[in-house]
Structure 1
């Protein structure tokens, strides 16, 4: 039963990847650099350390592409978390105009507007390519941007690490009772769900996770996936590695831009930024998918114990998630409107992917193991 349920959550979305790449390339091809003798220089704060090489390399490539496509007239310099502000302060410095733009995730800033969660990832929500379909062709991006308009920001979707792992634990958790009192580093809407289940969520930037685990400040922590987690050396401070990351099946990163700065850009420069960001959506996800298989083997070789979340925990988390979604929708009109739109899209794409991708994956994976 457990195996079957895990298989039912697999979706590959190759068609979505190709469509996304074609869209990005079309935008790049149509962008025209305006003649300008004035060089524009922006600073980009990020929520990531440089050692997170896939994300930070993609950010640098984004900046290089913008410079190339503007003949060196538009220069963006990225800074790792802590160089300008901490990982959790990118939103505020971009909003204030202290920094021109930032690369982060809205999951860190749901206190600003709870409905922003639909722009990144919801527990038991959409897989990465499903999320891209929702954002680009399901009305999601327009709805998210309408929220950011009121906050003085422009958001460009810019990458996803894919379906995440369930995190690192210093003790086994087999039942919901085992979660009670558990201090766990966990951001976003998933933190609210875990709180409902009795855990004590703690919000920490990436640079603080390993130290907090090692010193016993927290009992568990989630970060990303095998590749990202291996880079943080989390295998040195926790033994048990749980899956799946039900609270973040499709975390979507964003480039946040100060609205006044955006409005001052030539239209062609705006289109260049949009095109370069769209390309990041494909490259970051593809590189993580390529790297995670190798990293997972490395972690197993190091003695890490892989453990699935029990059916008891998954079912309780699923129930708590949709109770909280309904509760939040009753308290916040913008959240309610987006929730209804998102849930209808989710229902339709789940039905389609059950027919096309799930049936293929179920047979192929079982056949390869036989």
Structure 2
């Protein structure tokens, strides 16, 4: 209660309110507070189209975790609903769905757009190219992100790294590869640049979807097939039709997934939500790589210890031929456009810059641990 002793002289008699007046003003304030309309939080609703089957281990899970992270990190202000392959757009149409605004986001791998933009493959994997950590370093610090954005800018698409499957295996073979001549006439499922490399060395690349690979190997339609890594390969059942598992996966030493965002929608967001999308993609890139390494290590042990699979290395003459031919195939991408040449040069410079460090750290350490 206010008393006369609480009133400062300079406040004067204007502040000397009667008890009835004070209560009246308090009541009026309370009524005014009740009458003030509540400010409702508006949730931004987005769609994400993916190239992956529903709940596909690895990339499908990465896409869902990005959606979940955006909602949690935004405190519910933004929600992204995931649509698996074919639900909102076919796999080949995901880029156009994001570009045209049918979906505000997409999740894929840049190699899917190779026919439209040959240089797009540099942002997923190229034969004998950057390893996962090297790829991340090039994108984040070596100028790769800016070049990626320039490549997609004409389509109104903003790209981010959105996961990583790590390095791949060389594939499953129904007959051994002991010398270079063994590639002649080899019917092999290896998409992308790796398939072109093998074609130039005498093999016959065959394009088949994942669900047809096991029957094709069993029937003899295929002599060899490459899919992903031990975890996914074992889940698909390759060990039931072949016991020869070759390494290294020269065709894809890295497996970056991409998160695609419609540029108009992205730039229309408040700055904090744009940063949340960036952060969600960055966190998932690191987590997916860690998860892939863990699961592949476990699956490789099961394949060799429980399933009777033999991991073989490509012979040296085969590797040398694969590497030389890969260099020709990859450098040929530079001739497709001026921007493609810039991307190729930047990628090559990053590999030359990072390679010696990787060799004296990871390379020598792995050899020392194997002694």
TM-score by length of 1: 0.82
Q: Which has the larger radius of gyration?
A: 2
What is the aligned partner in structure 2 of residue 44 from structure 1?
A: 48
The equivalent of 1:106 in structure 2 is 110
Partner of 1:61: 65
Taking structure 1 as reference, are residues 44 and 220 closer, same or farther at Cα in structure 2, changes over 3 Å only? farther
CA-CA distance at 1:81 after TM superposition: 3.0
The within-5 A match list for 1:251-270 is 251-270=255-274
2: distance between equivalents of 1:170 and 1:282?
Answer: 35
Match status 1:337 vs 2:348 = no
Residues 169 and 130 of structure 1, relative CA distance in 2, 3 Å threshold:
same
- Per-residue deviation at 1:138? 0.4
For the 8 Å contact 2:333–2:344, the answer to whether it is kept is: no
CA contact (8 A) 2:132 2:255 kept: yes
Gaps of 5+ in 2: 1-38
Residue 362 of structure 2 corresponds to which residue in structure 1? 357
Match of 2:173 among 169, 172, 175: 169
Once residues 269 and 85 of structure 2 are traced to their aligned partners in structure 1, the CA distance between those partners, rounded to angstroms, is 26
Cα deviation digits, residues 213-265 of structure 1 (max 9, x gap): 44544332212111111122222233321111011111211011223332332
Q: Runs of 4+ in structure 1 displaced over 6 angstroms?
A: none
SS in 2 for 1:53: coil
Distance 1:261 1:102 in 2: 13
Query: SS at 1:132's partner residue?
Result: helix
* Separation in structure 1 between the aligned mates of residue 97 and residue 136 of structure 2, nearest angstrom: 27
What residue ranges of structure 1 are gaps of 5+ in the alignment? Answer: 1-34
1:221 counterpart residue number:
225
TM-aligned CA deviation for residue 126 of structure 1: 0.8
Superposition RMSD on alpha carbons, in Å? 2.2
1:145 aligns with 2:144: no
**Structure 1 residues 206 and 83, CA, compared in 2 at 3 Å: closer, same or farther?**
farther
Evaluate the alpha carbon distance shift between residue 217 and residue 322 of structure 1 in structure 2; reply closer, same or farther with a 3 A threshold.
same
Distance 2:220 2:181 in 1: 20
Give the structure-2-normalised TM-score: 0.82
Question: Retained in 1: the 8 A contact 2:50–2:63?
Answer: no
Alignment: residue pair count: 332
When structure 1 is superposed on structure 2, of 90-99 and 237-246 the one drifting more is: 90-99
For 1:29, the equivalent position in structure 2 comes to none
Comparing 324-333 and 122-131, the one that deviates more: 324-333
Instruction: Indicate the residue corresponding to 1:278 in structure 2.
Output: 282
Residue by residue over 1:94-151, the C-alpha shift from the partner in whole angstroms, topping out at 9 and shown as x without a partner, is: 3333333221101122111111122111111111101111110000111111101122
Q: Superposed, which structure 2 residues align to 1:103-252 within 5 Å?
A: 103-214=107-218, 216-252=220-256
2:299 corresponding residue in structure 1:
295
**Whole-angstrom CA distance in 2 between matches of 1:269 and 1:51:** 26
Is the CA contact 1:67–1:74 (under 8 Å) kept in the aligned structure 2? yes
The equivalent of 1:21 in structure 2 is: none
> Aligned equivalents of 1:230 and 1:311: distance in 2?
27
- Rate the CA distance shift 1:54–1:113 in 2: closer, same or farther, 3 A: closer
